[in-house]
Structure 1
Amino acid sequence: MRVLFTTWAWPSHLYALVPLAWACRSAGHEVLVVSQPELLPLIERTGLPGAAVGKDVDGAGMVRGYVLPSEDDPTADRRAPRAGKGPRALRMFTAHADSMVEGTAETARRWRADVVVSEPTALAGPLAAAAAGIPAVRLLYGADLMARARPLLPEALAPLAERVGVDPEGYDPFGAVTIDPCPPGFQAPDPAGHPRLPMRYVPFNGPGTPPDPPLPPPAPGIRRAVVTWGHTMARLDPALFLAGHAARALAALPGTETVLAVTAAQRPLLGEVPDGVRVVTDAPLHTVLGDADLVVAHGGAGTVLTGLRAGAPLLLVPQLPDHAGHAARVLAAGAGEVLTRDEADAERLRDAAAGLLDPERGAERRAAARTLRDGMLAQPAPASLVGELEERVVACAA
């Protein structure tokens, strides 16, 4: 079986594909990951075969246009205007599909792919599968925030469908099935009830090595809070990167050890780091969370699911619509607390963290996070989903 994976050029979207792609390779199947040229070096660092298609789009510039408003928003003059129905970012996803659709469809045909697996915002994937006459599978990276946009996609993608010889009304932009890594009780509602297959979330937070020397367990009676701000916000504007601010707020909490997990490129953005705060650079997040009692973060899908897999409650400060969507699912599941950027001054951050860490006040949130962790671990591993892909390829060929 030849499995073509596709995403537009955004690291966290690629990372969500890696565990299933490696499961397919480990089962003896051929795998190829395609994206815009900008992402090719990072694809190669995952150890997976990659190919560049289409042309680069200013992804960071477009994402910058969707930063949520705040009193001191450094991106206010670059915010995308609201237009039409559905997610505001649909225009961005369509622009990426426009840059990739012919190249992805041509690669699917020339490489003789048997199935296309795409993350939910890589809208060129299902079109390429339809053009090649093979199944399309959608692999979620978190909450299905695109579910409500499904009725809008045929019209939005009609010009692209026609360019690759696909009837805009004759294919499903969500593919044949959706693979869902979210644990029971976390996923957003799906009004259309698209077929889903559960899959255990296996974190791949990017190439890297565990902390060296390893993080020792906290001393008896000491709680550990891990602060991380993902990859996106610093890339959009250093003023949106609040990891240093959050760590300074938490450093004053008695009986609490604060760990900052950042990249080497983000280290200069932290500002003054208080004594006693440990900074870990370039370590995949899941290698830092083994003894975490709390994760303080921006609300990105990978960070949220990795935190929940560790059984840790979350304190989130979302600044993008999808981060707000994931923060809302954390609140709905009772597994954490959420502050807006304007609310997240040092005192509010410290008070919210203290409540989540408190043995009594935070008990329900911790229990909810552990319930989600247990539900996540009970789901089928990515290797178990390879057989499902095989069955769909056989059914399509028949």
Structure 2
Amino acid sequence: MTQAPVQQLDQIFVMLKHWLVGYVPAAAQPVVSSLLSVVAILALFPALFAFTTVLERKGLGRMQNRYGPNRVGPFGLLQPLADGIKSLTKEDVVPRTADKAVHFMAPLLLVAASFLAYAVLPVGRNMAAVNLDAGVLYFFAVGAVAELAVFMAGWSSHNKYSLLGAMRAIAQMISYEVPLILSSLAVIMAAGSLSTVEIAGRQAGYSGIWPHWYVLTPWGLAGFLLFMIAATAETNRSPFDLPEGESEIIAGYYTEYSGFKFALFFLGEYLGMFAISGLGITLFLGGWSAPFSFLTWIPSWIWFFAKLLALIAVFIWMRGTLPRLRMDQLMNFAWKFMLPMALLVMVSAGVWRFLPHGVLRWIVCFVMIAVPYVLLGRGLLQGKKIGKRTYRFAE
């Protein structure tokens, strides 16, 4: 393959957009360009959501030695379409004492916040809808709207179980948002920028065949693991799906939701999972760059979505493998382990930056992370003695 066809294939969607924009008057081109980016996001990620639901149900069925969807369409691939039609035709039941306006707005706000987060994610070379200088800050600011939507859903339902589920969800999301942001700060310090486009671009170089990904450093690997654990809790995925503990609080903050409104909550959670996984790819896994220099001929957008699908597979694997935590375990893990480790990752990133290149900084950074990891982990597992009983994290 010559270089020109490789570049054309890599930038095919960018060239298609420029070609379409060229047919409109110059005054309207910025508006049309923005609309095309919005339409692409609105079409692509809901389609990925539909594919993921089939993949997850089939994957969990395989893990549990049972069949997944296999009746609607070939190999059950049209099951999401059938589920969507069922949600549209189900009766929309709203409690008589509920705040109907807030009850209606909560799922819409959650989905809107999830879609807005995609604006700053570079899904390929020159393929970010908006290149903001403070893209990471924008991402977390928009993500905080999800907490407001969850509280709106629980409070407006006028149901004690919904309110309890909302309080659980907000406590969990705020607790794990702290290590999520702190682990991201280490990358921001290393890159010297808040722009997601620039952060991804700084990892696009190679030393021989090896990439300059931040995850390939001791502090980067620890930060990535902390980021993904916190992301799992932020998106209410197993084993952190406490807000919807069926045996305790029925179905959490969406107990009083049915039909298409419930489907919007379902959509919002998956879109949030895709968005936060995309940010993790951008910060730690090189964004759209190839894992080895001899694979750069593959289009950058293929690499981004390949990494995204790999992280989705890990989320599905965790859901089918790990049991749900207790609420005290979840909060202890956030404040007694995740937070101190995230602070240490930040310090380790600074030490890595100022130590000379060589084996020394690898050893120093590894010791800085490994020793506290062992000490904090032992302290968390040993627990605290209350009366005649010792409560341990592993119970």
The TM-score bracket by the shorter chain reads: under 0.3
Determine which structure has greater relative contact order: mean sequence separation of CA pairs < 8 Å that are 6+ residues apart, divided by chain length: 2
**Bigger proportion of residues as helix:** 2
Q: Tell which structure's C-alpha radius of gyration is larger.
A: 2
**Bigger proportion of residues as strand:** 1
TM-score of the superposition, structure 2-length normalised? 0.26
